[in-house]
Amino acid sequence: MTVLDEIITGVREDLAARQAVQPFEELLELAREAAPARAVVPALRAPGLSVIAEVKRRSPSKGDLAEITDPAALASEYAQGGATAVSVLTERQRFNGSLEDLDAVRAAVETPLLRKDFMVHPYQFYEARAHGTDMVLLIAAALSDVELQAFLDLTDALGMTALVETHTEEEVDRAVKAGVEVIGINNRDLTTLEVDLNQFGKLASLIPDDRVKVAESGILSLEDARRLRGEGADAILIGEALVRHDAPQAAVAEFSAVS
């Protein structure tokens, strides 16, 4: 069993517990009552390097990263620094995230929000919308072609934007053929958790220029960001370097200024 398989097993356990507490009919009504999702793609297509700044307490590879007692305050700093979007981890067992974090951030900022989780069931998409999410992460390695298309259709139907994460040529090809507008290349192999910053450069050219290209993982410095921008990144998704920074607002501003 790979690390990704183990994470998804935990995700399904936590999902079953939430489903037992909140019936789908109730969740559906909350999703219907939520304010419309914010548009994300136009901002990601704007000139310059867009920053998706992440509220991230821990990771399976690095362990605890930051305590983050006030995710709303951190997200506000990100927004003030010019973040195009704020990513909030909601996976509990490996990342110590929660929907409560998402709620706190949603109440604090108008910036588009990405729910960062392992989306494996339709319930999670209605859950995301009910909690004010504008964008969801779909991990190609965790989904079959049928699941990926179904989840893309559901994301669209709910007015949200999908960020489809890839790590191999085959996964990029699947995303491109599915018509995905925002395609992420994860420099981290989710089956081993190893990071190779060269991965983005190897795969970016396989993505048509009319799609948004997002570089993910292993971005720890402005030098890393400049390199990825030079290789075609329209946006970077960055967490560790920001949550460990003494001045996250200034750090976001610096990453956003990379050309």
Q: Which residues are catalytic?
A: 54, 56, 116, 165, 186, 216-217
Name residue 45's amino acid.
Answer: R
Other C-beta atoms lying within 10 Å of the C-beta of residue 221: 10
Q: Which residues contact 63 (CB under 8 A, 6 or more apart)?
A: none
Sign of torsion over alpha carbons 194, 100, 153, 17: positive
Say how far apart CA 93 and CA 90 lie, in whole Å.
10
Q: Which has the closest alpha carbon to 200: 161, 227, 173?
A: 227
Q: How far apart are CA 191 and CA 12, in angstroms?
A: 18
- Asked if residues 100 and 131 have their Cβ atoms less than 8 Å apart, the reply is no
DSSP 188: B
Nearest-angstrom CA–CA distance, 85 and 73: 15
